[in-house]
Chain A
Amino acid sequence: MSDILLKVKNLQTWLGEGDRPVRAVDGVDLTIRKGETFALLGESGCGKSMTALSIMRLLPPAGRIKGGQVLLGKTSLLDLPEFAMREERGGRMAMIFQEPMTSLNPVMTIGQQIGEAVRIREGVDKESRDLRIIELLNSVGIPDPERRVGEYPHQLSGGMKQRVMIAMALAGRPELLIADEPTTALDVTIQAQVLNLLKTLQQQTGMAILLITHDLGVVAEVADRVAVMYAGQIIEVAESERFFRLPQHPYSQKLFQSLPDSNKRSQRLAVIQGSVPALNQIFTACRFMDRCHRAFGDCHTAPEWTALSDDEGVRCHLSEQPELLQSEVIQQESHQPIASGVGQAPLLDVEDLKVHFPIHKGVFKRTVGYVKAVDGVSLTIAPGKTLALVGESGCGKTTVGKGILQLVKPTEGRVTFETDELTTLSSRALRSRRSELQIIFQDPVASMNPRMLVSDIIEEGMKAQKIVRDSAQRRARVMELLEQVGLPADSASRYPHEFSGGQRQRICVARALAVDPKLIICDEPTSALDVSVQAQILNLLKSLQLSRGLAYLFITHNISVVAYLADEVAVMYLGRIVERGSVDLLLAEPKHPYTQALLSAVPVVESTSRRTVIRLEGDMPSPANPPTGCHFHPRCPIAMEQCRTAYPELRPLPDGRLVSCFKVEDGL
C-alpha cells in the first residue's frame, strides 16, 4: 500500500549486558499510515517507550537493537549510518517526550533551542530563521512569541514547555511525530489544550502521530487506531472505534473493566491478578497466561499473531476460536451496601483553614509576602464517609491534607477532630491523638523507609502510639493486617523494594490501619499506579471503609476515581474551594465554571458520554500573587466586571451544594 508511512517488523530491543538482558521490545510489528493517529497503549514497563526510542535510534547507552526492520517510507532506518539517521531525526520524523520540565535545555533560550532545529533544515540565514521561529511558536499557540523567544524554559509553565517541544519537533516539517506520553505530566485542563493542539496541527500539516500513552481516555479522544502492548509484545491492534466497543484480548477487556466510574460504585472493580512478568526471561508460554482469567491448556504455547482483518489482529489463542473470544460472562462482585451515616456529628470539621508560607526578601530577609497555598478552606467529613478534594497541581490540595494533620502548621483556622481542636493542642496531646488520623501518600517508593523491614514499618505506629505493648502481639497484629490488605505473611520479613508499586501501597494502607484510625487522608494514593493496579487499591480502600467504618479525605485529580469512591466532592482552585456538594449532583451538573471546564477536559472512554470540551486558556496563576477579585476570572469564559473586583463567597444553593461564583448567584 502506498499510504504506509512507517513499517516496523519484528523489532527487538534489549537492555543491559550479561546473560540475562531485559528484552524490553520483543518482536514488535507496527504499520502507521500517512496522516493517522496511531496510539500505542500499555502499562508502565511494557516496552512502549523503548519501541519509540528504537524507531528514532535514541536508545539509552544500555539499550541495543538486536533485530528487526524499521521502514520509514522506503528508507530502512536501522541500516542507515549515523549521519544519515540524523537527517531523518527531526526531519521526516520528530519526537516529543513525557517530561517537558527536563526535556528542554535550562541554559538556552526558547529561541535558540528552536533555532537549532530550524537551522539544520532551513539553512543559516538569520532573518528567515527568526521569522520561522516566530511562525512555529505561533502555530503551537504560544501567546506573544516575540517576547517568548528570549525566555528560558524555567520561565514557562509545563504546558507552555510542551508546546515549545512541539514547535521544535515541527521545525523539520515531519511526516511522523512520535509523542511519548506527551500529556502525562500535565494537568487535565492543560492536557486538553495540548491534545487539541496536536489534533489541529495534524489537520494542518497532514502528519501522522504515533501517540504513546497509558491512558485509555486519551486514546479514546484522539486515536484512529490502537495497538495494545504487553510485556514487550503487541497483543492487539484495532480501529479505535471497534477497540472501545469490543476489545478482543482478555487483557484489553480487563483494562476496561478495571476503570473506575460512577456506574460501578456498588461493585468491586475488576482486577488483573499478579503483576507483569520480568522481561529478562525467554517466554515459551503466553506472557499473559498467569494473570489471565480465561487461560486454558493451549496457553502454554506462545500464541501467534491472528489477523482479524487487514490491519486488525490479536495475539491470543482464543482468537483461533472466534466463538469463544467474545463469550465472556462478566461477573462483578459487589460491595456490601453502605451503612447510612446520615445525621451523625461530623468526624472532622475544618473551618477557614489557611496555610501561608512567607516570602523573604531584602537585606534583613523581611517578609514581603506570602504564598497562600491554602487560603480559607472549610470542609466537614462524617464518620464512614468519603470526601474527595479535587484540583489541579499547585491548587493546594496536598497542603490542606498536611495542614489537617498538623504536619504543616496552619497559619489560621480551626481543625476540629471529634471534640478536639487540633491546632491548639500541645504537641504531647497532639501526639497521642495521632492514631486517629492517618495518611497514605502518593509515591509508594518514597513513603516507606527503604532501610526497614515491612514488619518494622507496620509496627512503627503501634510502638509510637503504645497501642500494643507486647511484641508477640504486635507481630500477630502485623500478620493480621497483611492478610487484610491481601499480602502473603512472609512479606513481613522483606524490604519494601522487593514489592511492586501496588503491593507497596497496600503496605502503606496496612501501616495506617495499624493504629486503628477513624480518618485516613489519602493523598493521590493511586496516581502513580497503573490502571489495573489502581483498581486493586480502590477495591481495598472501599472494602476497608465498609468493614471498619473509616472516613476518607481523598485528595486526587482523577475524576473517575472520585465518581467511583466519593460521597462528597470539593473542588479547589488556587487555595480555595470553589464548589462543594454531593458527588452525584456535582459530577452530573457542575455549576462553577471551573468545575465545568475541569470535568469537560477529562478524556472519557465511552464515546456516548463525550461532551464538548470547555477549553481554558492559560495556566493557573501563582498562589504568591493571586489575581484580584475572583481567582478564576482571568481564565473564566463567563467572567463579568464584578468578578475582577470582588471574591465571591461560598454560598449554598437550594440543592445543598456550595458554590462561589457571582454568575451562579445571579442565576438564582
Chain B
Amino acid sequence: MIAYIIRRMLYAIPILLGVNILTFVLFFVVNSPDDMARMHLGMKRVTTEAIETWKAERGYDKPLLFNQASEGVGQLTDTIFFQKSLKLFQFDFGSSDSDRDIGYDISQRMWPSLAIAIPVLLVGLMVNITYALLIAFFRATYIDIWSVVLCVVMMSISGLFYIIGGQYLVSKLLHLVPISGYDTGLSAIKFLILPVLIGVIGGIGAGTRWYRTLFLEEINRDYVRTARAKGLSEVVVLFRHVLKNAMIPILTGVVVVLPLLFMGSLITESFFGIPGLGSYTIDAISRQDFAIVRAMVFLGSVLYILGLLLTDISYTLVDPRVRLS
C-alpha cells in the first residue's frame, strides 16, 4: 500500500513536469514576454524601454531556458523556465502580473469556493442517490420512464439558464436572497443558499440518470437473485445489497473530484460575485494575467493527480476485492 502510494507520487513528477513544460511553451514561447508586455501596456505605440522595464519588474527579462550571462548552476536557474515554472513545484506561485502574492490570494480565496462546492457536492449526492433509488425501486413503471425523461430534459438545459433563471426568479422577483455578493462568517449563508440550490438542481439530471444506470446494473446481478432467494424483502435487497455495491463507483467518482473542489466553479462564482478561486481564475483570464493562470494550471494538475491517487485508495477501502500493488 505504502509502496504503491510512493510509486504513484514518483509517477506524478514526470506528469507535473510535462504540465509545466506544456504551459511554459504556451506562455513563453508561443507568446513571448515581449508580447505580454505590449499587451499590458497597450498594443500600439509602446517604447522599447517601457517594455524592458515592465519585463524587468516582473522578472521576465531573463532568457527562457539557458542563461549564458550567469555562471555555474545559475546558467540553468537564472532563467524564466526555472524561476517561473519550476518554482511551482515548491508551491511558490510568485506574484501576479499586477504584483499581488498569488499564494496569499489562493489561501484566502479557497474558503468561499469550498463553502459552495462542498454543500453542492453533499446535498447533490444525497438528492441524486435518493431519487435514483426511488426510480430503481419503481423500475420499468411509468415513474421510471417519466423520471428518465425528466432527467434528460434537465440535463439538456444549459447551466447558465439555471443560474440566470434562478437569480431572476428568487432574487429579483421574490426578493428572497441577494442577487450576488459575499460576506464572512454566518452572514455568508444568505449569499450561499441560492448558488448551492442552483448547483444541486443543475446536477440532478445527469447525476440521477447515471446512478440509476448503476443501480439497475447491480439489480441484474446474480447475487441480488441470491439475496431474493433468501427471502429478503425488496427494500432490504435494495439498500443492503444493491446500494452497497453501487456505492463503489459512486464513491470513487466523488473522490476523484474532491480535491478539485478547491478550484471552485468558474461560472457560479462569477455570476454570484463570490470571491473564490473560480472567479479569481475568470478575472485572471479576462485581465490576461498569465502568472495567475499558470499557477492555477499547476494547482489544478496537482489536485487532479491527488484525486486519482485518492480514488485508488478509496477503492481499497470500499471494495474488499481490491488490493493495491
Contact = CB atoms under 8 A, between A and B. Distances in A.
- A/B: CB atoms within 8 Å of each other: yes
Nearest to A83: B233
Contacts of B316: none
A482 interface: no
B140 A108 contact: no
A165 B227 contact: no
Given A107-B320, A152-B321, A94 B223 contact: no
Nearest to A91: B231
Question: Could you say which interface size class chain B belongs to?
Answer: 20 to 34
Contacts of A86: 231-233
Contact of A365 (B7, B226, B231): B7
A103 interface: yes
A56 interface: yes
B173 interface: no
A108 B321 CA distance: 11
A470 B82 CA distance: 65
Nearest to A117: B230
Interface in B233-285: 233, 236, 240-241, 244-245, 248
Contacts of B228: 58, 89
A411 B320 CA distance: 33
Given A97-B222, A116-B240, A361-B3, A106 B321 contact: yes
Interface in A17-58: 56, 58
Interface in A82-113: 83, 86-91, 94-95, 97, 99, 102-108
Nearest to B323: A154
A108 B239 CA distance: 13
B325 interface: yes
Nearest to B139: A61
Interface in A353-367: 360-365
A172 interface: yes
Contacts of B10: 363
A103 B227 CA distance: 9
Contact of B222 (A99, A171, A362): A99
A507 interface: no
A635 B241 CA distance: 36
Q: Which of B229, B240, B248, B320 has the most CB of A within 10 A?
A: B229
Main secondary structure of the interface of B (DSSP, over half): helix
A97 B229 CA distance: 10
Nearest to B4: A363
Interface in B192-235: 220-223, 225-233
B222 A87 contact: no
Nearest to A102: B222
A172 B232 CA distance: 12
B101 interface: no
Contacts of B35: none
A105 B240 CA distance: 10
A124 interface: no
B229 A106 contact: no
A94 B229 contact: yes
A362 B228 CA distance: 42
Contacts of B7: 362-365
A94 B7 CA distance: 48
Contact of B244 (A61, A107, A172, A363): A107
B7 to A, nearest CB: 5
A165 to B, nearest CB: 7
A158 B226 CA distance: 16
Interface string A351-389: 000000000111111000000000000000000000000
A169 B225 CA distance: 13
B183 interface: no
Contact of B229 (A90, A102, A364, A365): A90
A168 interface: yes
Given A360-B325, A363-B3, 6 more contacts: A91-B231, A103-B225, A105-B226, A107-B318, A172-B230, A361-B325
Closest 5 CB pairs of A and B: A90-B231, A102-B222, A152-B320, A90-B230, A89-B231
23 contacts: A58-B228, A58-B229, A86-B231, A86-B232, A86-B233, A89-B228, A89-B229, A90-B230, A97-B229, A103-B225, A104-B226, A105-B227, A106-B223, A106-B320, A106-B321, A107-B318, A107-B320, A116-B232, A154-B321, A171-B230, A172-B231, A360-B325, A362-B3
Interface of B: 3, 6-7, 10, 139-140, 220-223, 225-233, 236, 240-241, 244-245, 248, 318-321, 325
Interface of A: 56, 58, 60-61, 83, 86-91, 94-95, 97, 99, 102-108, 116-117, 120, 152, 154, 165, 168-169, 171-172, 360-365
